[in-house]
Structure 1
Amino acid sequence: MVKYFCSTSDIKSTWDHVVSAFWQRYPNPFSTHVLTEDVVYREVTTDHRLLSRRLLMKTNRLPRWAERFFPAGMSRYVYILEDSIVDPVNRSLTTYTWNLNHTTLMSVEERCVFLDSAEQPATTQLKREAWISSSIFGFSKPIQEFGLARFKSNQVKAMKGLEYTLSNLQGETPQRLLRDSVRPPSEKAKEAAKSLASAAAAPKKPQQYV
């Protein structure tokens, strides 16, 4: 069984501003769990679409009951791959993300589609979908329930972070330096990220989830 989540919302900002904010949303005070982000691959296609693949490293805070499924010494970092397609002709931004490690405990795949609204001026429509699964025998259902609850909480924070970045870009709040909310990773974490990025680079082009 897989837990499925779907939500739609309207962002009160133009598609151009939303796309600009998407690339600049880290760091922000609502996403302090995001530690690093690196571009693995990028290409502009002949039909003017921008394909990107990024590797993100995030902290992995677990409830106490979940610690029993985590072997001692296992990394508490989660590495996320993010494929994205910016289509300026059809004015859409599609992203697809999934975790690279800890997939036996929980796998979370997410797709977001940002579309320029045809009905409402200066509005961007967002459709967010997620698929959450676990391979822990006998405990997959409660783990998936926990994963769904955490995903819902995190997507609220993600929206607040995007809105924060949009406000700064549009000059609605004073620009200011944040406290060092994106902390530098340890050397061990850096090496792990490099290894995962190398493995994730094949296939070379991001999947086109549209």
Structure 2
Amino acid sequence: MVKYFSNDTDIKNGWEHVVSAFWQRYPNPFSTHVLTEDVVYREVTADHRLLSRRLLTKTNRLPRWAEKVFPGNMARCVYIVEDSIVDPVAKSLTTFAWNLNHTTLMSVEERCVFTESADQPASTSIRREAWISSGVYGFSRPIQEFGLARFKSNQTKALKGLEHVLSDLHGEAAPRPLRDPVKEPLGKAKEAAKTLASVAPSTKPQQYI
């Protein structure tokens, strides 16, 4: 069984501003669990769409009950692939993200679509969907429930982070300093980036998003 989540949100900012903030949303005070981000592929197509693939490294803290069940040396970082398509003509940004490691423990796939709001002028509608599954026999249901709760919490933080960046951009705040690199996660992220081609055969962002 797969846990499904969907949510619709409107942000009182124009689509162009939201897309600009999307690319600048890390680091921010609400997303300290995001450690690194790297662009591994980018292309502008003949019809002027921007295709991107990024590799993100995030912390992966387990709940207390899970720490008693799973090995203590389990990696506490999770690698996320994020494909995105920006269509400036249709004014849409579509992203699809999924985790590369810990997929037996829990697999999370997220699809997000940013479009101009049809009901509110100078606003952007965000449609977010997630599919959460687990292959751990006997523990799949509590793991999925935990994953769903964490996803909801992280998405609330993500929205606050995006609004924080939008506030900075509108206020013409001074550029925010980049976070000091976390050496161990960064090194692991680079290793993951090198093996990304073997995990996902095509380096080109998936067109089905």
Q: Specify the alignment match of 2:201 in structure 1.
A: 202
Structure 2, unaligned stretches of length 5 or more?
A: none
SS at match of 2:207: coil
TM-fit CA distance, 1:202: 2.6
Q: Specify the alignment match of 2:142 in structure 1.
A: 142
CA offset digits 1:142-178 (Å, max 9, x no partner)? 1101110110100000000000000011117x43646
Cα separation, 1, equivalents of 2:14 and 2:94:
16
Cα separation, 2, equivalents of 1:176 and 1:188:
26
TM-fit CA distance, 1:73: 2.2
Amino acid at match of 2:130: A
1:1-210 equivalences under 5 Å are 1-171=1-171, 174-175=173-174, 177=176, 180=179, 183-186=181-184, 188-200=187-199, 202-210=201-209
CA RMSD of aligned residues (A): 1.9
Residues 75 and 30 of structure 1, relative CA distance in 2, 3 Å threshold: same
Cα separation, 2, equivalents of 1:48 and 1:176:
28
Cα separation, 1, equivalents of 2:42 and 2:207:
13
Check the 8 A contact 1:83/1:96 in 2, yes or no: yes
Structure 1, unaligned stretches of length 5 or more?
A: none
- Identity across the alignment (%): 68
SS at match of 2:183: coil
CA offset digits 1:103-122 (Å, max 9, x no partner)? 11100000000001233211
TM-score by length of 1: 0.92
TM-fit CA distance, 1:201: 5.6
SS at match of 2:120: coil
TM-fit CA distance, 1:15: 0.2
Residues 188 and 87 of structure 1, relative CA distance in 2, 3 Å threshold: closer
Aligned residues: 208
TM-score by length of 2: 0.92
Check the 8 A contact 2:57/2:77 in 1, yes or no: yes
SS at match of 1:146: helix
SS at match of 2:144: helix
Check the 8 A contact 2:78/2:102 in 1, yes or no: yes
Check the 8 A contact 1:69/1:105 in 2, yes or no: no
TM-fit CA distance, 1:198: 4.1
